[in-house]
Every structure is written in C-alpha cells, then in structure tokens.
Amino acid sequence: MRLASSFRDPHGFVFERDGIIYRQVNEAHEAHFAAFLSSGLYERLVQEGLLVRHEEVTLDLAAEPGAIHVLRPERIQFVSYPYEWGFLQLRDAATLTLRVQELALDHGMSLRDASAFNVAFRGSRPVFIDTTSFEILPEGRPWVAYRQFCEHFLAPLALMAYRDVRMGQLTRVWLDGIPLDLAAGLLPSRASVRPGLAMHLRMHARTQRTRASDRSSRDRTFSPQAFRGLIESLLKAVEGLTEPAGYSVWRDYYGEADHYTDAAAREKERVVASWLEELQPTCVWDLGANTGRFARLASSSADTVAFDLDPFCVDEAYRRARADGDERLLPLVMDLANPSPGVGWMNEERSGVWARGSADLVLALALIHHLAIGRNVPLPAFAETLSRSGRHAIVEWVPKDDPKVTVLLRDRADVFGGYSREGFEAAMAPHFHVGGVEPLPGSDRLLYRLRRR
C-alpha cells in the first residue's frame, strides 16, 4: 500500500488505496505541518502554482498508525524522474525548488530536503510535490538541504552545460545526487571561472573531504542574511547556466525533410489528426517524438508524453511547449531500447516506465526502422512493446527501400530478411486488429491504425 518511493521519511509517506494516491502526515511532523498551514505558506505556494494542491480527507483512510492528517494530493498524470528530463526541465525544477525555499523563508520555514524527486512535471509545468518537506526554520543553522541541492541540481546542470548534455544520465546511477567530488573532477577548468560553480561545487567538494569533522566552524551561527545570500547565490549559479551547445542529428530531422515531400508530411498530419479526433484519447504517448511535431497534435486535447532519446530534441519540444502555453505536453528523454528501469532500494524505489502507466493511444511514427534495423529489435518484440504501451496505436511502416532505411543499411550486412510489410503485419497480428491503413504520398510509407485485441 505504501509506495516504494516513499519509505525513507518518518514524517510522512505516500500510499495508494483503491487506485488513489494519498499522503499520510505522522505525529513526528505535527508542529511543522501546523506551521506550514497556519503561516499561509501552503496557500501562497499553491496560489503561485509552485506546489501541488491537496485536500484533507478522513483519518480513517490512514495506512498506518501515527497519522495526524491524511491528504489527497492532486494527481500527477505521469510521474517522471530527473534522468528523464532535458537540461531546461532540470534547470526549471532547480529554480522552482529555490523559489519555494525563498517563500518558505518569508514564512519562517525552510525546506529540509531539496531532492530533484520532490519535483514533478504536470505536462510542461514543474511543480513541487512533497508537502511534508517543510520545517520550522531552525534559527542560526545553515541550510540542511544545501548539499542535496548541489548534488541533485547544480552538479548535473553544470556537467550538462559545461561537459556534455548526456551527463544528465548520471542522475540515473546516483539517485541520491551526483557526488560533488565526482562532479568537480569531471567539470572542465573553464567552469571554475563562474564564482557560483567554483564555490558551490569545487570548494564545497573539497571541504566535504577535508573538514567534515571540524566542530568549531560547524557550531557557528548562520545568520538569516547569510541564508538569504546562499539561496540567492545558488539561484544565480543555476540561472547562469545556459543550454549546452552541440550538434543533434535528430533535432533537425524534419527540417532536412529529404525523405518526405511537403505533401507527405501534411498528409501524415492530416491522417494522425483525424484518427485522434475519432479516438478521442485522454492520454497519449508518442514514442520517438523528436521535437514533438505530432505529439502537439495530441496535446491540444490529451495529456501527452513525448519520449525521445535525444536530449536536444526534448529541450526543443519543452521550449516550444512552454512558449506556446501547451500545458499538456510532457517531453521526456528515453531510449526505447534501454528504457528507465526500476532502480533504488529493492529496484522498486523509482519505477520503470511501464510500471508507471500506459496510454489510450501510442504513436510510433518514423520509428520502426530505427529500432528494427538500427538497434536489431525483432518486429514481434516491437509489437509487444507497443501493445503494453497503449490500447490503440498509430504506427508508420517504413519499408526497406525507403531512403532512410537505405542509409541505415549502407555500412552493414542486411540480416533483416523478416523486415517487410508482410513481416510487420504478421508481428502485429497477435496483439492488434488493423483499423485502417493510409499511404503517404511521395513515399512507400504507410500509416497503420491499430486496436489492441
């Protein structure tokens, strides 16, 4: 009943009952939670859209003894993790955490943890979800969550900005944050030109190693002004990090358009839009979404998750969603051939992708050749993944003589005898009924509309 992601905190935890998520607040947290409500902090955070709203329900629903409140928080459509976010999403989550901390200080409170897992994305908007993270400000003490903030946010952001955007994947290995000595060692020396990074990463890492047992400094009073200065300095360090530069083949995929005529691209949009209209899904997954061109057709009326393996594409999709006010699109980084697994304690603390849900409709457009030929995934395995992802599917069949497939096969032996339209239909048959097939003009590609058996 208690969620595997919520076992470490004695102050409260999240649990599921009859498919509904609740948060239990325990006696140990009573004074802090009372101050959180009475100070007006909760109302203010919710008003500003920074914190997930909750409603209080009866204590009879408590999952374990010791409850003083049971809350029913607003549901997050699809729970995502920091290693699935692009640079811009992680930076926005960091800024959100600091903004929440600033408001907490205004109300005489403070965050006692600053984990990136305390932030979720409601579509394209980050929101703080851990209602029991707030404590009465312990006066004169430094920020207890300072190290965690640096390890969960500043270190991966700096590595992505200064070393390589793919460094974001380190957060999947170090769930408790990237160790500061590791981050300091990996950062190029030019990163130290920025005072914020030199201080909060390099010098911070060095002190951790060498002065951990220094009681005299530890017991010094930390003034409110220093506390404000710390948050301000972290905010500056985070906001000063700009998007990593780099070449991305995929980001410009549709721009190149050598494999599509304009007519084919328009027809593809028309068919996908009309099938979306007929199916009226409430939740859509777009696998291999690129910068979200087709996911955006869905997100106008459905909660849509746009998965792509290229973090540049995910950043681009996120930037557009924010700019257009598209609040129902959640772009995420994911390699379908190596999707997020169950990790953490007992491999259950953070779930794999399919353990977190599935969609009414899954889109797999211009994807099949990348998996079947580029990554050697057999067509029946692709079909099974698709059927686990959604009740309905729209799949673009890309034949072997398509120019893009020819490029994939250019420097390798063709061991893909089964890669044919017949092979595709045979692979789909055990899982799906075919509800329609539409050709794309100017190519031999076909759009299939499928319904799970």
Partner 1 sequence: MRARMTIVTMLVLAASFLFLPTANAYVDPGSGSFVFQALIAGLLAAGMAIKVFWRRIVGAFSRKPSAPLDEG
Residues that bind partner 1 (CB under 8 A): 99, 102, 142-143, 146-147, 150, 180, 195, 198-199, 203-204, 206-214, 217-220, 222-223, 225-230, 232-233, 235-236
- Between the alpha carbon of residue 192 and those of residues 23, 182, 187, the distances in Å are 42, 15, 8
The minimum distance between CB 239 and partner 1, in angstroms, equals 9
Cα of 307 vs its chain's centroid, Å: 10
Angle at 320 between CA 317 and CA 323, to 5 degrees: 150
Tell me which residue of 206, 197, 207, 114 sits closest to 160, measured CA to CA. 197
- Name which of 187 and 362 has its Cβ closer to partner 1: 187
Ramachandran assignment for 54, one of left (phi > 0), alpha (psi -120 to 50 degrees), beta (any other): beta
| Token representation of residue 141 | 């003490």
Cβ partners under 8 Å of residue 301, min gap 6? 276, 280
Q: Can you name the residues that pair with 308 across neighbouring β-strands? A: 333
Cβ–Cβ under 8 Å, residues 93 and 125: no
Nearer to partner 1, 17 or 209 (CB): 209
Q: Which is nearer to partner 1, 198 or 409 (CB)?
A: 198
Contact 353, 323 (CB under 8 A): no
Pick between residue 228 and residue 375 the one whose CB is nearest to partner 1.
Answer: 228
Shortest spacing between CB 173 and partner 1, in angstroms: 18
CB of 193 to partner 1, least distance (A): 11
Q: 24 Cβ partners below 8 Å, 6+ apart?
A: 12, 13, 14, 15, 62, 63, 64, 67, 69, 70, 71
CB of 182 to partner 1, least distance (A): 12
Q: Cβ–Cβ contacts within 10 Å for residue 214, how many?
A: 10
Give whichever of 2 and 141 is closer to partner 1, judged by the CB atom: 141
Kindly state the smallest distance separating residue 396's Cβ from partner 1, in Å: 45
Half-sphere exposure of 43 (CA within 13 A, CB side): 7
| Residue 236 or 266 with smaller CB distance to partner 1 | 236
Cβ atoms < 10 Å from Cβ of 46: 15
Looking at the Cβ atoms of 147 and 163, the one nearer to partner 1 is 147
In whole angstroms, the minimum distance from the beta carbon of 341 to partner 1 comes to 27
- State the minimum distance, in angstroms, from the CB of residue 232 to partner 1: 6
432 backbone dihedrals φ, ψ, rounded to 5°:
-135, 150
Write down the least CB distance from residue 29 to partner 1, Å: 21
The smaller minimum CB distance to partner 1, of residues 179 and 357, is found at 179
